[in-house]
Chain A
Amino acid sequence: MNNRLAKWLISGPPLLYLLLFFAIPSAIMAFAAFRFPGDYGGLLPLVEVNPETGAREVLINFGNYADFLTWENFQRFFEEPIYIELFLKSFWYAGITTGVCIVLAYPLAWLIARSSKKTRDLLVLMVILPFWSNFLIRVYAWMIILGPQSYFSQVLNRVLAVFGIEPVSLLFSQFAVIIGLVYVHLPFMVLPLYANLEKHDMALLDAAQDLGANAWQRFWKVTWPLSLPGVWAGTALVFIPALGMFAIPDLLGGTNSMMIGNLIKQQFLDSRDWPFGSVLSIMLTLSVLLMAAIAAWAGSRGKAKK
């Protein structure tokens, strides 16, 4: 059989599908960032159907590109400080989330990596299992736990009252957003970290112990540096989706815990300013690329050292 023909027959269908439903829509969105918003939302049309004749009429003069292309949307992003601030805040949320995930994932990954082969599979499955339940259910669970009348809130506020501190509202706060982000993304940190820790040579720890290193020193000087590629892989897997999240701040956060995703959603569905929404999406994409590049670079540096 003709090898070339086989290649096209096999890779053609998925390629065409993804071109049509991923690459082209993305390109249209990138182009939309330079367009003017329409009078009734969306984009300012380039072509209009004449209601009487049914013929398509080109509304703009394509030779004069200033009629339909503009930098204004990007200028707005950089000139009004609230947008940059919102981006920084989202980075901050995603960063804290990643940090908490590392702290929580480490003992778990360590335990799994050090278990016998049989228990190991079970422990890994137990990390993945909650991840198979619906994302919204997992967020909803925290709305119940952090709700003002929940046992958790009541006990906490009673304890606070003993110390003379005013009762706090847990739900609809930044605290709730971070908890939700950590809860949803934790497995993405555990799995790469475990995959890394599993490969460590235990003789190194024994050698360190023989040379007089205590448990803390053995961790900081041996295990931690060796685990950095795993930590960076997990960081990419947690930080990137956390950065673009909109449902968690929407459900668990208050008015002051908006993230980039919420602003994008607002531009597309509420204020229907598509060009500016596209600018925000492009900025989010650039942030993601930057973060992925940092994680890949740092992760490979760790590997090279080994």
Chain B
Amino acid sequence: MKKVSNWVWACAALVYAFLYLPLIIVVLFSFNDSNLNAEWVGFTFKWYEMLLQDEVMIEAAMHTLIIGFITCIVATVLGTLAGFAMYKWRLRLLPALVLTPIAIPEILMGVALLIFFVMLNMTLGLVSITLSHIAFCIGFVAIVVRSRLQGMDESLVEAARDLGASPITAFRAITLPLIMPGIIAGALMAFTLSIDDFVISFFTAGVGSNTLPLEIYSRVKVPMKLNPEVNAVSTLLMLLTLSLILVVSKVAPSALRAGD
């Protein structure tokens, strides 16, 4: 095999730096004793202390977690069903409905749901955000579960059936444990996508139902409201996602690679 030239290494290293430097800067400035994210002044924890007192931010974080959990559960159930159905039968409508929300720009789904909820006279808030999040997360779960099923050895199920297991028993005893890493990966994806979502929440949230990304947006947008508290909350959010990925890689190591 040919060795990769030093040039390629150097270029790739630069691109990795491009990927990581911005995030490192956000983390560093969360410990900086200055109102401005411009120059390093000194080390401090005060932005984290302020964050713990910041009721608006804490409420937004609670909303985000609640929406994330409900979305995760419902989307994982519906997405697993969809993934299984798409693997098992040749369907037309379901794959189209599952895959389109992933393929189109998020804003299109956001405005369509906005019109829909307003027409139904629904008050925009946590419920409308959750319903919307579930709708766009189903597809991601379905894809991961289906790809896991495609990698599964179908003869195991047939063997169980030959030995007298009913379809339901065979599913519970053979298929389900085998695709579990895929389901866990899908659930993790749904949770992360939900707590991360900005665009669809932006259109389906009403007054006074802020999620964390919406709150971050409103502070970043108005320089007067902006201080390194945003860096602190960003750092914590990154830690949360990172530890989630670590937990999953320990619990179900193959889950993280279910997509390939």
Contacts and interface: CB of A to CB of B under 8 A. Distances in A.
A122 to B, nearest CB: 11
Interface in B17-38: 18-23, 25-26, 29, 36-38
B258 interface: no
Contacts of B12: 107-108, 110-111
Contacts of A115: 4
B98 interface: yes
Contacts of A217: none
A266 to B, nearest CB: 11
Contacts of A261: 105, 107
A145 B25 contact: yes
Contact of B15 (A26, A32, A104, A121): A104
Contacts of A274: 115
Chain A: number of interface residues, binned into ranges: 35 or more
A89 interface: no
Nearest to A209: B2
A1 interface: yes
A211 B139 CA distance: 49
B29 A14 contact: no
Interface string A53-93: 00000000000000000000000000000000000000000
B199 A247 contact: yes
Interface stretch (B51-59, B147-155, B176-184, B233-241): B233-241
Given A143-B220, A147-B38, A15 B135 contact: no
B162 interface: no
A288 interface: yes
Given A143-B220, A251-B221, A268-B111, A107 B11 contact: yes
B198 A136 contact: yes
Question: Taking each of A14, A22, A26, A151, which has the highest tally of chain B beta carbons within 10 Å of its own beta carbon?
Answer: A14
A165 B195 CA distance: 44
Contacts of A288: 103-105
Nearest to A49: B121
Contacts of A134: 195-196, 198, 213, 216, 234, 237-238, 241
B37 A108 contact: no
B72 interface: no
Nearest to A245: B105
Contacts of A221: none
Interface string A241-253: 1011111001100
Given A11-B81, A134-B234, A183-B18, A110 B167 contact: no
Contacts of B7: 107
Interface in B22-77: 22-23, 25-26, 29, 36-39, 77
Nearest to A148: B38
Contact of A268 (B104, B199, B203, B234): B203
- What does DSSP make chain A's interface, helix, strand, loop or mixed? helix
Question: Taking each of B26, B105, B195, B203, which has the highest tally of chain A beta carbons within 10 Å of its own beta carbon?
Answer: B105
Contact of A11 (B79, B89, B115, B237): B89
B118 interface: yes
A21 B131 contact: yes
A241 B79 CA distance: 22
B230 A140 contact: yes
Contacts of A195: 260
Contact of A141 (B26, B79, B112, B119): B26
Interface string B179-194: 0000000000000100
Interface stretch (A125-133, A155-163, A227-235): A125-133
Contact of A111 (B8, B108, B135, B245): B8
B112 A28 contact: yes
Contacts of B202: 247, 265
Contacts of A265: 107, 202
B163 interface: no
B132 A244 contact: no
A135 B213 contact: yes
A196 interface: no
B117 to A, nearest CB: 8
Nearest to B237: A134
B199 A111 contact: no
A28 B103 contact: no
B203 A110 contact: no
15 contacts: A14-B78, A17-B78, A24-B116, A28-B116, A111-B8, A121-B257, A132-B192, A133-B238, A134-B196, A142-B22, A244-B107, A246-B107, A250-B221, A284-B105, A284-B107
Interface of B: 1-2, 4-5, 7-9, 11-12, 15-16, 18-23, 25-26, 29, 36-39, 77-79, 81-82, 84-85, 88-89, 91, 93-94, 97-98, 100-101, 103-109, 111-116, 118-119, 131-132, 134-135, 138, 142, 166-168, 192, 195-196, 198-199, 202-203, 213, 216-217, 220-221, 230, 234, 237-238, 241-242, 245, 256-257, 260
Q: Kindly list the 3 A-B residue pairs having the minimum CB-CB distance in the complex, ordered from nearest.
A: A244-B105, A141-B22, A25-B116
